[in-house]
Amino acid sequence: MSKRDYYEVLGISKGASADEIKKAYRKMALKYHPDKNPGDKEAEEKFKEAAEAYEVLSDDNKKARYDQYGHAGMGGAGGFGGGFGGGGMNMEDIFSQFGDIFGGQFGGGGFGGGSAQRQQLRGSNLRVRIKLNLEEMVNGTQKTIKVKKMKLAPGATSKTCGTCNGSGVQVKVMNTMFGQMQTQTHCGTCQGIGKVADKIPAGANSQGLIKDDVEVTINIPAGAREGIQLNVRGKGNDAPFGGTPGDLLVVVEEETDSAIKREGDNLHQELYISFAEAALGTQKEIPTVGGKVKIKVDPGTQSGKILRLNGKGLPSIDSYGKGDMFVHVNVWTPQNLSGEQREFFENQLKRGEMVAEPSGKEKTFFDKVRDLFN
């Protein structure tokens, strides 16, 4: 069965604000929460569906990707390198997200009335930066990098906390003028986890974790941009005592290209031609992010002319289509002439040939700038 549109799931328009998205999710989550609908599989599926929609639409990068490519851009449970799209969410993830939205009012998947619940153990996230060249950003690529992360040390074991017997909570009874009051708090021994370290190998920390280098493969989608953050689920630091690993957050940086300069989705490069080529016209082969292409330079081309190659720029991450490539033509003036070349130009000057004779149709600098945006 095909997935429903995320905006339809939450009952909002595509232009909904972040606050409207959050309110819509809150409404759906309250309506279909399992505690309100015990044993109702349809309600449970709608609860998961709403959480999946919120996970994508509440993140600017994921939302932009979804708006451009729809569910196809999510890559199933993967999306950007396996990091988003609710296909990979479990109920633990959803309840954690649910608790975040409602300010911790609910815990562990139930309406707990504010009582302490056993904490779900999760490793911390890691953040790394990765450099991409223009071709990799346009076409997408796969990178394998080394990440220094916390891992569960071989031989490390845990045992049930003896203070709370694995519940993660301690019950306290207080006598008041209204009678006895019972409250629950996180266990002070295990910090609400329910487990404590049993055997800790040499070199590991108090939670049985060691720092080690791990290779991680990252799938970079086409159209990635400087500053965009990709989420690789489960590749962050391990959690102690067999909990859920954190995520690896990958921030994209753009490598500077020696020939091609980027301006938004458009690309620019300089092309130098000789006097003879400018006067007679020529064909030149230039590099683009999609490979080399041949362009025609018309006879009588003036220095400063800008040639526009439609669709040879970067794919837009916010909409369909691509930017353009702008080739800035410069007529190269030789600085060291041979005797024969000097004699040729001197003869041209004597005969009054090859002199500057503007026709009045030449474009000014401001005309050229205006043309770039038309």
Domains of the chain, earliest start first? 1-74 (1.10.287.110), 120-151+211-255 (2.60.260.20), 157-199 (no CATH), 260-373 (2.60.260.20)
Q: Give SS3 for 169.
A: strand
What is the structure's pLDDT at 110?
A: 37
* Residues of the chain with confidence (pLDDT) below 50: 76-88, 92, 98-100, 102-115, 365-366, 368-369, 372-373
Indicate the annotated binding residues. 161, 164, 187, 190
Question: What confidence score (pLDDT) does residue 106 get?
Answer: 41
pLDDT given at position 86: 41
For residue 259, the one-letter residue type is A
Q: Which residues are annotated as a binding site for Zn(2+)?
A: 161, 164, 187, 190
Alpha-carbon gap, residue 337 to 345, rounded angstroms: 10
Tokens representing 249 are: 């957050």
Closest Cα partner for 79 from 17, 6, 188? 6
The per-residue pLDDT for 105 is: 40
Write the burial class of residue 253 (CB in 10 Å: 0-12 exposed, 13-18 middle, 19+ buried). exposed
Write a three-state SS string for 96-153: HHHHHHCCCCCECCECCCCCCCCCCCECCCEEEEEEECHHHHHHCEEEEEEEEEEEEC
The number of helices, as runs of H, and strands, as runs of E, in the chain is 9, 15
What is the model's pLDDT at position 361? Answer: 56
Residue 127 confidence (pLDDT): 93
pLDDT at 363 (0 to 100): 54
* Predicted local confidence at residue 308, as pLDDT: 93
At residue 14, the pLDDT reads 86
CB 88 within 8 A of CB 51: no
What's the confidence (pLDDT) of residue 216? 92
